[in-house]
Amino acid sequence: MTNAKGIDVSHHQGRIDWEAVGAAGYSFTFIKATENASYTDSRFAANWQDAKAAGFVRGAYHYFHPSTDPARQAAFFVNTVGGWDPTDISPALDVEISDQDAASLALSSTEWTDRTSTCLSEIARLSGRVPSIYLTAWGSDVWKTKIAQTTAPSWANNYLLWVSSFPAAQPEILKGWSTWTFWQFDTKGKVNGIDGQVDLDQFNGTLEVLLEWLKPGQ
């Protein structure tokens, strides 16, 4: 069986020829919607609409700044997306350390843990969907250095794991999970229909499994 292939994108990819990306064998996408409590990605609306029109299974993600009120960020994210179709991938929260976000870097492990949990639970409450959490398994990633230094928080397995882990034949399963749902395995991919580089992903299953998984009531 072949895992379904996807991409995750933002304004950095510019205008995307979604039909060409689909013809290259990609079937799902995560699209950056928002960041912090007031920034909307300039390509979100177009990507969200065009990916759907081209037949992609689509998901939206929010880039988290834990130094900002997490409940406000969750509301901003959900309101910006404006609702998820039953066949859309659940919302995702991108949790990582940015060298440019000094305020978040200064937070304690407890603050990182509590604020991440609050944002995830608010996204779930407001969207009615179980979110994914995007985490990196390389470098000084936040899960290992801020949130799960000794043991993973009890809420971790309530959410789906979208892990960035490479180069490797299989993704690293982070503490708190027994499996992964999505795997970002390359951040410098080349795909027809996109100028420049793009992040590449896999779903832990075939496209048929992904579509079945997304059916209401599953």
- Mean pLDDT (10-residue bins), the chain, 218 residues: 94 98 98 97 98 98 96 98 94 86 86 96 96 86 88 95 90 94 96 97 96 73
- Cα dihedral 88, 90, 93, 94 sign: negative
Contact call for residues 16 and 31 (beta carbons, < 8 A):
no
The pLDDT, as a whole number, for residue 3 is 96
Across the strands, what pairs with 32?
61
Contact call for residues 9 and 16 (beta carbons, < 8 A):
yes
Residue 212 a catalytic site member: no
Residue 8 a catalytic site member: yes
- pTM given for the model: 0.95
Residue 106 counted as domain residue: yes
Look up the domain containing 77 and give its range: 5-213
Residue 179 counted as domain residue: yes
Residue 141 a catalytic site member: no
Write the CB contacts of 41 (distance below 8 Å, at least 6 apart in sequence): 10, 11, 31, 32, 33, 34, 35
Of the residues 41, 88, 94, 199, only one is catalytic, namely: 94
Residue 29 counted as domain residue: yes
Of the residues 8, 41, 141, 199, only one is catalytic, namely: 8
Cα–Cα distance for residue pair 30/64, rounded to 1 Å: 15
Residue 218 counted as domain residue: no
The pLDDT, as a whole number, for residue 140 is 62
DSSP 145: I
Give which of 75, 152, 61, 66 is closest to 114, Cα–Cα: 66
Q: What are phi and psi of 17, to 5 degrees?
A: -90, 90
Q: What is the CATH number of the domain that holds 26?
A: 3.20.20.80
Of the residues 17, 19, 69, 96, only one is catalytic, namely: 96
Give which of 93, 184, 75, 81 is closest to 131, Cα–Cα: 93
- The number of folded domains in the chain is 1
